[in-house]
Amino acid sequence: MLTLVTGTTGQVGKRFVPRLLAQSRPGEQIRVLVRDAARAEPFAALGAEVVEGDLRDDAVLGKAVSGVDAVVNVAASFRGVPDEEAWAVNRDAAVALGRAAQASGVRRFVQVSTAIVYGTGRGRPLTEEDESRPGGDMWGAYGESKVAAERELLALDTMDVRVARLPFVYGEGDPHLANSMHWAASWASTQRLHMGHHADVAQGLLRILHAPGVAGRVYNIADDAPVTAVDLHQLNGVELPTDMHERTDPDPWFGIMSTERIRRELGYRPLFPTVWTARDAGVL
């Protein structure tokens, strides 16, 4: 089995690939697509095959998927980039990769997505059956482009497509946790953020990749206890704003996901059920 992984130099990809390589069985091979081969040297040293090129180049896609059995598309362009780039990477390139994979005979395709696609909250944990409801402070080209990619990829009915929706990912030196203060500094004290450690994101992706009989399924990946704005300040060693407790949370269930499906169907259990568990283990 040959598995192609994209987005391997990003915060999720560069932590997922070593775990994928470490758990590979005899006869299983990993190929990574990178724009700069020098940045893939750590993967090559672990045994990965490296293909250099841009995900947005059709000629590169053909080379990348040639002979591949499965694809894990981790590549993404996050918030803060121009809208055109978000659409070009998150939807257009993802769909082009899916179509190239389909044409090449790839059997399985895992699209890595985000909880942002749900949009506004529902007054309860979000389930995979919930439709996208655009809105909220975090909505924009990132969420719009990711949900559009999901829909187009899941419509490729001659290929087994699965979708993983990630929470706020942190751990192992990822600056994402510190970056959370860009938002949390203006939040109400009780405003929550659903998180997942890199080890558990990788665990979830591996389960989704290898599970038989789940074509077309969407799975939420997250930990067991969303953190509050107060928690985020404490984790980052930042003093609480004096007016924090006077603020109001505009959407208390925004981004809070149910993990019942991945637990029941794929046996997922977070290694780090809370960010405090990860802190105590020294893996922030």
DSSP state of 159: S
Q: Does residue 227 sit within a domain?
A: no
The whole-number pLDDT of residue 136 equals 82
The parent domain of residue 42 ranges over 2-169+196-222+257-271
Distances (CA, A) of 100 to 7, 34, 59, 70: 17, 17, 10, 12
d(CA 263, CA 235): 28
pTM of this prediction?
0.96
Q: Does residue 229 sit within a domain?
A: no
What CATH number is given to the structural domain containing 204?
3.40.50.720
49-52/29-34 β-pairing: parallel
Say how many domains are in the chain. Answer: 1
Q: Does residue 184 sit within a domain?
A: no
Mean pLDDT in consecutive groups of 10 residues from the start of the chain, 284 residues: 96 97 95 94 96 94 97 90 94 98 98 97 98 90 96 96 98 96 96 98 98 98 98 97 96 97 98 98 98
Q: Does residue 51 sit within a domain?
A: yes
CA dihedral 40, 221, 167, 124 (to 10 degrees): 170
The whole-number pLDDT of residue 233 equals 98
The whole-number pLDDT of residue 81 equals 85
Q: Does residue 251 sit within a domain?
A: no
The whole-number pLDDT of residue 137 equals 80
d(CA 9, CA 36): 9
